[in-house]
Amino acid sequence: MVLHSYSQISTQALHFCADQGIGVHFISGGGRYLGSFDGRQGSIQRRIRQYDALSNPEMCLHLARKLVICRGQGQRKFLMRGQRGRAEVPVLLKQAISQMKAVLKQIPLVMSVESLLGVEGNLAALYFGALPHLIAEGVSPQLKFEHRNRRPPRDRFNALLSFGYALLLKDVMNAILTVGLEPALGFYHQPRSQAAPLALDLMEIFRVPLVDMVVLAAVNRGQWDVQADFEERGQQVWLSDTGRRKFVSLYERRRSETWKHPVTEYSLTYRRLIELEVRLLEKEWSDEGGLFAQLILR
């Protein structure tokens, strides 16, 4: 259950959700993830194994490398898709794709999580710097994208990205609790906000297919009303009630689509793939590793 903005829920309803194992997630009106209420704790033995594994710096670095490669390759493949069917590909788009390939080759050589953060930052800068070239020419100037900004978002495109990432974070949190792992103990992100580090780690795999692709497709198809779907408050831009309902509908439709896992070859909905990815992560410290973070666009 997801409560947006100042939606209210009774104590009786919370008791019912706790009894039925239903997570309740709170998201601000602007799409910022605020927190969760969930009674599922999982097996203590399962969490002890997680603590043991993720207390090992070598294991954390190993998993973080896989994660950054997965996200970086997904971003690069998305940009490559933007070249299809174009008579003339922008030079900056070609350069970003080429430079990202070079940066990705550095990742296996990185020897610390701190250094890996710098490499990931380079990949993100190249990706978001090239993303404007994927927006169709006829799109309203008010929906154009120049650079990533957040907390709060200052334009409509970033408002869409932020709201989508909050919905994705909620789904990843739910999957972690369903499997029974501890969301507060991750291997890459450090706790700096209400969002659990392990959820921030795992959502990196799904940012492109579940949010970036949905936002760009809807923008290019002219599905957003620049007035009715957004609210401007000074320099801040948020989705309106109408815009949030529209985004949730688009996101849920995408989440129900199937994707064939490139390694396991299972065809599952994105909803199920998120849970599968949590289970594949757990296998990394259960002597059955090798399948985690392999979901990459083709």
* Overall average pLDDT of the 141-154 stretch: 87
- At 226-277, the pLDDT tens digits run 999 999 887 888 899 999 999 999 999 999 999 888 877 888 999 999 999 9
Per-residue pLDDT band for 59 (boundaries 50, 70, 90) equals very high
Residues 6+ apart with CB under 8 A from 236: 30, 152, 153, 154
Single out the residue of 140, 137, 138 nearest to residue 230, CA to CA: 140
How, if at all, do strands 258-260 and 267-269 pair? antiparallel
**Residue 187 DSSP one-character state:** S
Predicted local distance difference test score (pLDDT) of residue 192: 63
Q: Which structural domains are found in the chain, ordered by start?
A: 2-283 (1.20.120.920)
Say which amino acid occupies 51. Y
* Overall average pLDDT of the 200-222 stretch: 95
Predicted local distance difference test score (pLDDT) of residue 5: 65
* Overall average pLDDT of the 26-54 stretch: 76
Say which amino acid occupies 49. R
Predicted local distance difference test score (pLDDT) of residue 87: 75
Q: Determine contact, residues 283/289, Cβ cutoff 8 Å.
A: yes
Predicted local distance difference test score (pLDDT) of residue 277: 94
- At 160-191, the pLDDT tens digits run 999 999 999 989 998 998 888 999 899 998 76
Q: Strand pairing partners for 37? A: 24
Predicted local distance difference test score (pLDDT) of residue 115: 93
